[in-house]
């Protein structure tokens, strides 16, 4: 799942020295590697994740400890900053000195599986039944499941109930309704709608529901469907219904605008709910992301982390790690994690029960049913396409190019020519 402060995708350019030391400890390099037992008498395994937030780390520590007990091992958990994880994983993949249990942001799985550093989970007999199709796709590489996510996230439309009631506006379900509602809700000091349109993968993440729900495709950005989706955002800015500052806002900034009453609606994720719940004077609701026209199903991107079992010479350790992974993805653990983190259980039946008990998560559960993994169509080529998308968004919203021109340029970036 995505923590409140964490963007949905991470790419890095710099390694932190301190983080390197932490990862080295977790991956068992140096003397620790040689000390790993090669027999069935495995008493401990290592696990690596990026849950560095103190509360989040502690919550996951309890879950890993409990699942370790079911497997008969102690789980030694190490958490490193998200920006440090993938470089170190790639560095250690070739030497097979990865930890026994490895957590990855789901768009990164393709890149790591491509190196041959992960083991397919079918060899351990892990139950992957009942998972939503998109969720299973997020952990799949070349037809083999390499990772499973206990819970996932996506984005929905948040709205201020009081503002909509005062303005006599119904919760928008279509793009036309969204434009009309945003215009009616806008007034001095307040915009009707807010999104994150910045020049990062976060901006792409927020645009995907509009692109995909209109039949757009990241494999071919220069299409009428993609241009129509981008035109919607352009029109919202041009009409004054949405601030031009969205070009620089993060998802956290969008949240702050909403809490401060400077926007009546926003696109955001469930990791914002704990903070929203702290403001007792803020009456908010959620709804599926509006679609181009009535009858369409919103298609949103999947966020969340998958757990994997890396390759190493010690099969007994891999078996133990697989048992812990299976426990993390059982129905009971899914419910616990979803309740702790405001995420959606990955098994459809569990998610449906969760939505009944937690109404604020019902829209997320609905959107997850048709949600799509960002790597489902392009695999390891996804980051380049994502760059092309957010570049096009920036060009169109600043007025430098029309949506059509911006997306043609974005397609060139996505394909490298």
The model's pLDDT over 23-32, given as tens digits with 9 standing for 90+, comes to 333 333 333 3
Going from the N-terminus, what domains does the chain have, and what CATH number goes with each?
A: 17-153+303-369 (3.40.190.10), 156-300+378-415 (3.40.190.10)
pTM, whole model, 2 decimals?
0.86
Instruction: Give yes or no for residue 8 having a pLDDT over 60.
Output: no
Q: Assess whether pLDDT exceeds 60 at residue 340.
A: yes
Residue 321 in contact with residue 126, Cβ under 8 Å? no
The number of beta carbons lying within 10 Å of the beta carbon of residue 80 is: 22
Question: What distance lies between CA 193 and its chain's CA centroid?
Answer: 22
**Better-predicted residue by pLDDT, 16 or 91:** 91
Q: What is the pLDDT of residues 39-91, one digit of tens each?
A: 358 899 999 999 999 989 999 999 999 999 999 999 999 999 999 999 989 88
pLDDT, mean over the chain:
89
What is the rounded average pLDDT of the residues 324-350? 95
Kindly state the helix (H) or strand (E) to which residue 412 belongs, with its residue range.
helix 403-415
Is 80 exceeded by the pLDDT of residue 11? no
pLDDT of residue 3: 39
The per-residue pLDDT for 27 is 37
For residue 281 the two structure tokens come to 């004077």
pLDDT score at 40: 57
Q: What is the pLDDT of residue 65?
A: 97
Q: Is the pLDDT of residue 35 over 50?
A: no
Segment 303-322, tens digit of pLDDT: 999 999 999 888 999 999 99
Name the packing angle between helices 201-213 and 382-397 (round to 10°). 90
Per-residue confidence (pLDDT) for residue 352, from 0 to 100: 95
Q: Residue 304: how many CB atoms within 10 A of its CB?
A: 25
Residue 105 pLDDT exceeds 50:
yes
Q: What contacts 24+ positions apart, CB below 8 Å, involve 331-334?
A: 333/63, 333/66, 333/67, 333/150, 334/150, 334/151
pLDDT recorded at residue 31: 31
Residue 99 tokens, joined: 């930890």
Residue 188 CB neighbours (<10 A):
4
């Amino acid at each position: 799942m995505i923590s409140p402060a964490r963007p949905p995708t991470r790419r890095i350019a710099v390694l932190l020295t301190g983080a390197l030391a932490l990862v080295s400890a977790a991956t068992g390099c140096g003397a620790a590697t040689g000390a790993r037992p090669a027999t069935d008498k495995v008493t401990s395994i290592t696990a690596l994740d990026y849950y560095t937030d103190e509360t989040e780390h502690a919550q996951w520590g309890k879950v890993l400890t409990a699942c370790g007990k079911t497997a008969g091992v102690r789980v030694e958990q190490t958490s490193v900053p998200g920006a440090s994880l993938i470089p170190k994983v790639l560095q250690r993949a070739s030497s097979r000195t990865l930890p026994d249990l490895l957590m990855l942001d789901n768009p990164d799985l393709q890149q790591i599986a491509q190196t041959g550093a992960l083991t397919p989970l079918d060899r351990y007999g892990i139950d992957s039944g009942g998972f939503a199709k998109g969720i299973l796709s997020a952990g799949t590489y070349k037809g083999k499941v390499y990772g499973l996510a206990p819970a996932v996230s996506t984005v929905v439309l948040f709205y201020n109930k009081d503002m909509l009631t005062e303005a006599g506006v119904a919760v928008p379900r279509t793009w036309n309704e969204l434009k009309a509602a945003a215009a009616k809700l806008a007034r001095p000091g307040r915009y009707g709608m807010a999104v994150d349109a910045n020049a990062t993968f976060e901006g792409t993440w927020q645009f995907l529901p509009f692109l995909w729900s209109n039949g757009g495709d990241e494999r071919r950005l220069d299409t009428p469907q993609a241009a129509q989706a981008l035109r919607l955002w352009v029109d919202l800015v041009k009409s004054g219904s949405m601030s031009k500052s969205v070009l620089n806002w993060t998802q956290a900034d969008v949240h702050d605008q909403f809490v401060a009453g400077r926007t009546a609606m926003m696109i955001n994720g469930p990791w914002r709910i704990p903070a929203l719940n702290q403001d007792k004077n803020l009456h908010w609701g959620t709804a599926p992301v509006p679609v181009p026209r009535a009858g369409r199903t919103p298609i949103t991107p999947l966020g969340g982390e998958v757990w994997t079992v890396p390759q190493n010479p010690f099969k007994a350790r891999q078996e133990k790690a697989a048992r812990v992974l299976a426990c993390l993805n059982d129905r009971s653990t899914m419910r616990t994690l979803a309740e702790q983190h405001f995420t959606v259980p990955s098994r459809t039946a569990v998610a449906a029960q969760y939505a009944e008990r937690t109404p604020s998560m019902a829209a997320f559960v609905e959107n997850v049913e048709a949600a799509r993994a960002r790597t489902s169509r392009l695999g390891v080529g996804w980051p380049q396409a994502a760059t092309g998308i957010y570049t096009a968004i920036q060009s169109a919203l600043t007025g430098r190019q029309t949506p059509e021109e911006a997306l043609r340029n974005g397609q060139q970036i996505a394909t490298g020519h």
